[in-house]
Structure 1
Amino acid sequence: MSYIDRCQKLKLAFDGGEPEFDNMEFSEYQFHSLAHDILPGKTNYYCASHKLDLIENMLSKNEIGEIQDDVQIEDVIVEENQNFTYKILKPKGNDSVKKVTFIFHGFNEKTWDKYLPWGQAICEKTQSAVVFFPIAFHMQRAPKLWSDKKAMFELSKKRKAQFPNIIGSSLSNVAISMRLHSKPQRFIWSGLQSYYDIIQFIEECKSGKHELIDKDFSFDIFAYSIGGFLAEILKLTNPKNYFSETKLCLFCSGAVFNRLSPVSKFILDSEVNVALYSYLVEHFSSFLKKDDLLRHYIEEDHMEGKVFHTMLDYRVMRDFREALFKKSENQIYAIALKGDSVFPTYEIENTLKGASRDIDITVEELDFPYSYSHENPFPMNKQESQNIEESLNIVFSKVCDFFNQ
């Protein structure tokens, strides 16, 4: 079976047409995010950990990023982000799963299509169940309008007219670009919601509430692109020691936020990139002073906020960050691609191996004998199908060898 045929059959199985594929099968489950009330759109907030009432002082939006109300809806009321389904791929016949691998996807992703052969390879080579868990406001956690090609094409036209020198604006990224341009702190809050969602998922499994996953399960993480950012924060924070034995494999990922180059018609446009950098890096300390809610989660006794902060800017708490990576150096492995312009290899090494290169995390650079990009490392190219299949096998043999050690 060719690579393209296999991808199409996997998509059919994933979408419910034929849930069985070879010796594997997909199943679907419901999830309700208990952390959604941390999101922007309210005035009063409550931190249960510290029994503290808080107020978000930065409720005003940047009107420059505004165009359409259907995109600029308040985060806290987006139903799709609160209640959603997720899929699990497992070896056929396993009624109780004791080994799980999470797949964390990239920024501005709308479908799981490209991840399905990745998940298949991990499931087959490690015999673990693969959980396709979506990040907040991505995949099935976003309103369908944000993926409507006609509506987003019209919106992109308006955005290009508003910013004549804009680079990389497209129907694919206009919704997320507008929302983050209008309110850059969404990056923080959706990231924290995703962080808490993963912990909630783990705790529900450990308490025996999941019908498929055994309460004594173990798990690893395969993270791609910005999904690696979430995975690193979870691993370095290690809440309740849940991640002590977790292995983390990073693919085209691993660098801190301010060392990325995310301007692409598939990721973010140039205007929101500037706004994010200004907010999260250049002026973040000023915003922390003005926003009680943000300051509490970033600077006041929330380890996840402290780690989030150091992963935004290479210079911030570098010794702290590198000490945490050093603790987990034998449990982290990264594969970089020579042709990746979004997560360059040397920036991944700067973060994972440290400024003095004294952290023993393996960062392996690969290259493929066909045209590829960060966003599409294994493209649907009939002429290069054999090379693509071979390259995918090389990558995931390395990934699974690491998980199986």
Structure 2
Amino acid sequence: MGFEELYPPGRLAAAQRAVAVAGLDALLLSPGSDLRYLTGYDAHAGERLTLLVLPAEGEPTLVVPTLERPAAEASPAPATGVRIVDHADGSDPYPLVIAALGGPVGAVGLADRMWAEQVLALRAALPDARQRLASAVLRELRVHKSAAEIEALAEAGAAIDAVHARMGEWLRPGRTEAEVAANIAAAIRAAGHVTVDFVIVAAGPNGASPHHGTSDRPIGVGEPVVVDIGGTMPSGYRSDCTRTYLAGGTAPAEFLDYYTVLHEAQRAAVAAVRPGVSAEAVDAAARAPITAAGYSDAFLHRTGHGIGLDGHEEPYVVAGNDRLLAEGMAFSVEPGIYLAGRHGARIEDIVVCTTDGVRRLNTTPTELIAL
């Protein structure tokens, strides 16, 4: 799979049509996932201005610092049809932005996570332009993954599954969470990721904190250990998978009881995924068994989040989101049960909504894994 499939030239034209429909004159995108989605350029974010100027009509222009022009030209961006212009250190780059817009503008969409200093500089350079969020335009394009994007996510899923399959090499009583995490991080890179996005190794009472991270606490015999890991592949697409392990010995009976409930909840939520089902209905499918077993207050977070060039993006699988799922939407299904001061568990797969159901992109067993 080449970058030309992941970042096709037609994507810029589709975005320009969406810009016009939204009543905007242009999108102004600083380094981040939106810029990469449209051009394939994984731009460096810094104090020097890098900005994709995407007018509703006219030629898209990528404004870059002179010293970063070689990187931009070596990226997939030129093949998408974007024009590259550069600015030298010490020069004002904003006249290049104004020129690329090709005339007066009344409203522009800015990258959601643009640095404040650039937002304010654009406000000064374009005082008559109302500023809105670019996500209002790009959200609908990015939420429907192409076949190439799905295969990139599948490749990422297989790579992180390979790391989970090796957990028995590192996770054992007496070792600290941080020691295990260091082994995992090296394995994430060895499995093909270019960056390690996060490593959570949460043993015993630490497992009751969904975003614990790691610590120097040794793992105890018979303790449940939540391992949530993910990274970014060369394609730019992300992995994210959680499994819960038993580090030797015998788990507490209470834990074994609620893990059975959690396993049922995760399977039920995955099975609920199909076109036309709402995101909140999938969340409800995960919560029903957990609530019936008396653990509703211990399920502390939403059931899932979208994934792609960002680790968290649309669609969000949460109560109150009545958005209907459609073919090509990719997201996590990750219910958890957390008992403060004791232990916790989470099971997470990345899934894709297909034409008539669901495809799991993580395929390792979801049962409790005893090491």
Q: Which has the higher strand share?
A: 2
Structure label with greater radius of gyration: 2
Instruction: Please report the TM-score for the alignment, with normalisation by the length of structure 2.
Output: 0.25
